[in-house]
Chains A and B, each alone.
Chain A
């Protein structure tokens, strides 16, 4: 099912299969539409990533999809070295402005020039025909 609106079907209605929150499918379907969406628990207001069927700690079944601002800060970074001539590449953990951390990579600078604390902005790239969130350095 391709989600058509930012709000998911109510998690409280657990009957019909179409109403069941399918975190991974929904996340990637949103991305395919060009929308970077994360979850938020209605009761606590806490943002959640990666997508789940229940909120961590509380177990609340009230996760709804909300647009991510795309703003983030590099929290940790590494350069993955490959056998030449294959180029090295970056993998970073990015702390989203909403709170959760996600794994991604920072593009537009050499992998070894990615620094912890850098402000970065999300962009939806396409890798092997699939949408993927990457980050650019905010100048």
Chain B
């Protein structure tokens, strides 16, 4: 491969917004995405007409880039509605950084919204089973993640209590976040007694089904300092994938985050040990374990022990999913953009009761499909440049 170049620190997130977190009846997915977008833009004195780089993927609209441009009456120079599942938004940020750096656009907007809780009442997946797999009636995506979990348990002796530690930590962080959907404490007994969906995963291993929207605004670093008191710089950003359906995953216990993570961190010139805040796409409890390993925070097979004893909970050694994650904060179909929004808020020091003191470096990690598409961002404050 050619040299892995990325414009480290030359672009920045200047503003983020969320909207309709939890339940937002009466609004469509595009209504929600626009609601978050105009707020993110307005907070730094920008209007939709300033946006010349548009990055969006809605769950129910394969042409959402066109829909969004029409809705707000804008004519972007760059329109991208690439969809790699829930990781898409982190790939959007990567392309936005490259487009900004190349002078293809000056103000990039990354947006997402979904009304899946109010409209559908269940997770809406873009995945369609093939003729080879449909007849076996695996509920997807949960069944695919359950298969991966079974394999991980077989290889590494993972216990359900260790998956429970992930769910409980997420709920503890959610308890500190007024925007989180499920904030009441979750105990281990309750976790272990929760209804199985696809063994070994129970309802408490599964992400929420909510409405919600998020948006962020990116510019080149020089302009970022004029727009924001505390820009958050993109230090590294890389993506990888090697399959769509779980059946074709080369190793059910190792995701392509083992490729995207080291690449993003090398671009940023940091190691996992340097990271203050970790936001990973926890569609299911097994995700957090796999990503902690694949991103290099612990060795393969050791994440179960790593998360025990409150190590990733508030007050623990490593702050993971500080908003409560997809498990307890918000999961409107695709959660990826919310990892970046939370990482940004932590680095801007605006995370309230859940603020990680002195956070300077954050990793946001998105997952798409069935542990398929992985995208990693390393974000930093001005001091890390």
Contact = CB atoms under 8 A, between A and B. Distances in A.
B277 interface: no
A76 B143 contact: no
A78 B136 contact: no
A124 B308 CA distance: 45
B141 to A, nearest CB: 12
B128 interface: no
A98 to B, nearest CB: 15
A102 B139 CA distance: 16
B196 A102 contact: no
Nearest to B151: A76
A4 B98 CA distance: 53
Contacts of A27: 132
A102 B245 CA distance: 11
B195 A81 contact: yes
A130 B199 contact: no
A107 B199 CA distance: 17
B136 A103 contact: yes
A78 B146 CA distance: 6
Interface SS of A by simple majority: strand
Contacts of B198: 78-81, 91
Contacts of B147: 76-78, 91-93
Contacts of A127: 135
A116 B151 contact: yes
Interface in B130-173: 130-133, 135-139, 143, 146-148, 150-151, 154
Nearest to B153: A116
Interface stretch (B226-234, B246-254, B339-347): B246-254
B146 A103 contact: no
A80 B196 CA distance: 9
B127 to A, nearest CB: 13
B259 interface: no
Contacts of A130: 135
Interface string A25-50: 00110000000000000000000001
Contact of A24 (B131, B146, B195): B131
Contacts of A78: 138, 143, 146-147, 150, 198-200
Contacts of B132: 24, 27, 50-51, 102-103
Interface string A72-88: 00011111110000000
8 contacts: A76-B147, A76-B151, A78-B147, A81-B198, A91-B136, A91-B198, A105-B136, A117-B154
Closest 9 CB pairs of A and B: A79-B199, A78-B146, A76-B147, A116-B154, A76-B151, A91-B138, A78-B198, A103-B133, A50-B132
